[in-house]
Chains A and B, each alone.
Chain A
Amino acid sequence: MNNDLFGFEINVWADAAARLGLIVGLMTVVVMGLIYGERKIIARFQQRLGPTRTGPAGLLQSVADALKLVAKEDVRPRSADPWVFELAPYFVFVPIFLMFVAIPFALRWEIRVLELGLFYVLAVSSVNIVGWVMAGWGSDNRYAMLGALRAAAQAISYELPLVMSLISVGIVADSFNLTEIVRSQGQVPNIVWQPLPFFLFFVAILAELNRTPFDIPVGESEVVGGPFVEYSGIRWSMFFLAEYAALFILALLGAAVFLGGWAWPLGEEWGLGWQLVLTALKAGALIFAVFWVRVTMPRLRIDQLMAFSWKVLLPISFVQVLANGLVLVYEPPQHIANILLAAVSGAGLLLVVWIMNHSVGKPRPRPVLSPRAATAPTATRSEAAR
């Protein structure tokens, strides 16, 4: 069996290995760029300069960091569970790396076109949380354990809105094949017909990536770094490599599913270079939005975070899926269907925004823990949370 790679007919095994090798190189370069970019962008937001010393305009900062991390001592606590502790970086990194298999960069530029690409990406990505829990459990550290539990609770809560938002787009496109989804967007990207799923997707990827405002699993002021408190040197950097690679992949996924990928607005006839530029621009815009949210929003409390997912996002995402089904099942003409989809989804988005606006700033009802706590000075709980 042979496959076509840049015009050469080569064996499928060699083809798969070559494509994965290219992805390894791309991922390393992009992750280094993202770390540098994030530091520079956040510095501009905070009126600082960011890295300037290493190389021209600090461009070699990530390389220097990587070298430092490789040459740093790698300590394992004596009381840690050796197997669980040592295997955790693999379980965090490998699922993220496997997500690349189905992600398209341009027309016929992907590792493989999977018929169930969307399903595959979601299925593989959720294995990652096992690695987080392993890291927390194996470290034998209370901060790590707490961070891992929070990470697990948050990841499973926001997994459902993420899955439902992508299913509702899959229903509209009538396919889970990412190339087909990009093609089906034709003249108008999905974000216009499906604004609510885009919002759900964006919120859910912030939570899946443990980014502010959903960073309680790794919040430095609460659990000092979360599941990887005990990790150091290169093992620690594996978690961050996985995190930034996941940011890159999810931004590419969002660009393909919601923003029209390489096709909109130029169409598929334009050359490969333009397609790659479009994909990069759209993914870059999403990544920039993630950084922007990070510097703008304060951290959510865990009760707010869970309530937001289970009481707001989850019900409304199921309603969105069923509403899309209802619009399409009676097979109205194309333009009427599109208008109905956009109207229903837009109304849902307005509802979510109204709920968020309404509930922000409401004081939290102070729970009565025990008779002793009830008589204690009232300031303690809120002070501790801060």
Chain B
Amino acid sequence: MSPLDQLFSNYLPVFLGTGIGAILVISALVGSRLLAPYSEERNKGTTYECGMLPIRRASTNVGMRFYLYAILFIVFDVEAVFIFPWALSYLAVGPQAYWEMVVFVGILAVGLAYAWKKGALRWQ
């Protein structure tokens, strides 16, 4: 097989698996639709809230701290994406590539230290 064919053959199961996974869920839902009873009742459609009737929609105020963690995560996840190719190729380039990554991680570590000092990592 040529390299391109090999690549195609390697990632074909990913494509097929997406379909097969979805079909699995669909077949379970169809099976349940065939077997399970169903009855219309007015109060069954309300959401669960410890026996109280829910007031207004649930998707309202979200704590600010979740956004802080999300922003920090994006920074570090992008860093991780850069580290992946570096991890396999820095030996070929030599010590220079290694120290460049140290500088890169160092800059982000300063950012983490700043966020830490500002109290962004304190859950309150």
Contact = CB atoms under 8 A, between A and B. Distances in A.
Contact of B101 (A175, A235, A325): A325
Interface in B36-62: 36-39, 44-49, 54, 57-59, 62
Contact of A98 (B17, B28, B38, B80): B17
Given A74-B36, A97-B17, A306-B121, A167 B9 contact: no
B98 A329 contact: yes
Nearest to B74: A156
A149 interface: yes
Contact of A1 (B9, B46, B116, B123): B9
B21 A315 contact: no
B48 to A, nearest CB: 6
A72 B32 contact: yes
Interface in A120-164: 120, 137, 139-145, 149, 152-153, 156-157, 159-160, 163-164
A149 B22 contact: no
A20 B29 contact: no
A75 B98 CA distance: 56
A310 to B, nearest CB: 5
Q: How many B residues are at the interface, by size bracket?
A: 35 or more
Give the secondary structure class of B's interface.
helix
Contacts of A326: 98
Contacts, number: 210
B87 A1 contact: no
B88 A176 contact: yes
A112 B124 contact: no
A73 B37 contact: yes
B114 interface: no
Given A24-B24, A153-B69, A328-B91, A114 B109 contact: no
B105 A170 contact: no
Contact of A93 (B21, B69, B76): B21
Interface residues of A, number: 86
Given A16-B13, A311-B121, A326-B98, A141 B66 contact: no
Interface of B: 1, 5, 8-14, 16-18, 20-22, 24-25, 28-29, 31-33, 35-39, 44-49, 54, 57-59, 62-63, 66, 69-70, 72-73, 76-77, 80, 83-84, 87-88, 90-91, 94-95, 98, 101-102, 105, 109, 112, 116, 121-124
Given A141-B48, A156-B70, A237-B28, 18 more contacts: A71-B35, A79-B46, A79-B47, A93-B21, A93-B24, A97-B21, A141-B58, A149-B63, A152-B66, A156-B69, A159-B77, A167-B83, A167-B84, A238-B25, A302-B123, A311-B121, A322-B105, A330-B95
16 contacts: A1-B8, A12-B12, A13-B16, A20-B20, A70-B31, A79-B54, A93-B25, A101-B14, A140-B54, A140-B57, A144-B58, A170-B88, A306-B121, A310-B69, A310-B112, A329-B90
